Amino acid sequence: MTPVISMEKQEQLTIRDLVADQDLTTGDLKMILDLAGRVKARPGEFSHTLAGKQLAMIFEKPSLRTRVTFEVGMTSMGGFAVYLEHSKPRLGERESIKDVARNLSRWVDGIVARTFSHQAVVELAENASVPVINALTDLLHPCQALGDYFTLHEKFGRLKGLKLAFVGDGNNVCHSLMLTGAKMGVTVRVATPSGFEPKSAIVAEAKALGRETGAKIQLFHDPIEAVTGAQAIYTDVWASMGQEFAAHLRTQVFAPYQVNEDLMNAAGPDAMFLHCLPAHRGLEVTDSVIDSPKSLVYDQAENRLHVQKALLLLLLQSRRV
């Protein structure tokens, strides 16, 4: 019989919900990544830990990695996930977010939400009596950052002191990488075209967090300058979901920010490539980079499963007060 791990013996996170990267303390981050390592190494030990637990998944945007990893993560630990497609109407249009949160709280043990508006996830968390997890908003993507830093720790054996260069659009993934990286002691160097920088308030908050850990948050317009000496080069699509109307213009503006072999060569000799996927091959990254031995993109995708299983364990096994 497969042994059941009692999470009551685990330390508890300081949070009840994961709405923003800022919610997590450094201790929380270490706890999640440590547990993710255990889950990945010995998945069978956790196969019944969420037996009887139910998860509602509200998705306004299409998804491959986020949906599959949360569903598989939940069911592989004995729980059940219900997928709620909310692209038409979006969350809050058919009935208030408050009522959605209060209804779901009567039926399920946790809510995962992937929305356009960050405020929608904030409102869910404010009104739900069960944990709410941000599975992506236009502002932040905390689960992605957790998977990314777990992957980098696997590769380099450490996070503190690493340099990660993000090249492209200062979007939600960039925001989460800066905030979580700063807490973990990772210097994040962001290269964007003028006018496409990450939000100044997020940059300021990440810089403040970095002052406590020694991490630096640096902005550039020159991608070569940003990647020089970096252990990891990260990019994302140039037009995120909801920005498709501007894809043609963005393709022209971002062309000098393509991650290709020349840009990889400008980084450190041990530099690895990361992308949250889906990738537009031939645009933000070339095939020769994404398919190279230096690419960690499929490790990142796999590790989303393990860090989210750790999150589900830590949040759904705890009761709100």
Q: Is 276 a catalytic residue?
A: yes
Q: Is 67 a catalytic residue?
A: no
168, with CB counted inside 10 A (0-12, 13-18, 19+), is buried
Give the active site residue among 16, 67, 141, 175: 141
Backbone angles phi, psi at 117, to 5 degrees: -75, 125
Q: Is 114 a catalytic residue?
A: yes
Query: Are residues 141 and 115 in contact, defined by beta-carbon separation less than 8 angstroms?
Result: no
Give the active site residue among 250, 275, 304, 306: 304
Give the active site residue among 16, 276, 300, 308: 276
Strands 187-191 and 163-167: parallel
Give the active site residue among 175, 236, 306, 317: 236
Q: Is 236 a catalytic residue?
A: yes
Q: Is 273 helix (H, G, I), strand (E, B) or coil?
A: strand
Query: Are residues 143 and 70 in contact, defined by beta-carbon separation less than 8 angstroms?
Result: no
Query: Are residues 183 and 32 in contact, defined by beta-carbon separation less than 8 angstroms?
Result: no
Residue closest to 290 by CA, chosen among 269, 272, 265, 270: 272
Tokens of 34: 């440590």
The CA distance from 253 to 234, in Å, is: 18
CA distances to 218, 250, 261, 285, 319 from 270, in Å: 21, 30, 14, 18, 44
Determine the residue type at 83.
Answer: Y
Q: Is 17 a catalytic residue?
A: no
Give the active site residue among 144, 258, 300, 308: 144
Residue closest to 132 by CA, chosen among 147, 145, 150, 119: 119
Q: Is 153 a catalytic residue?
A: no
CA distances to 91, 112, 127, 279 from 64, in Å: 20, 15, 28, 12
CA 227 to chain CA centroid, nearest Å: 21
Give the active site residue among 67, 114, 175, 275: 114
Residue closest to 304 by CA, chosen among 279, 276, 263: 276
Please list the active-site residues.
Answer: 114, 141, 144, 236, 276, 304
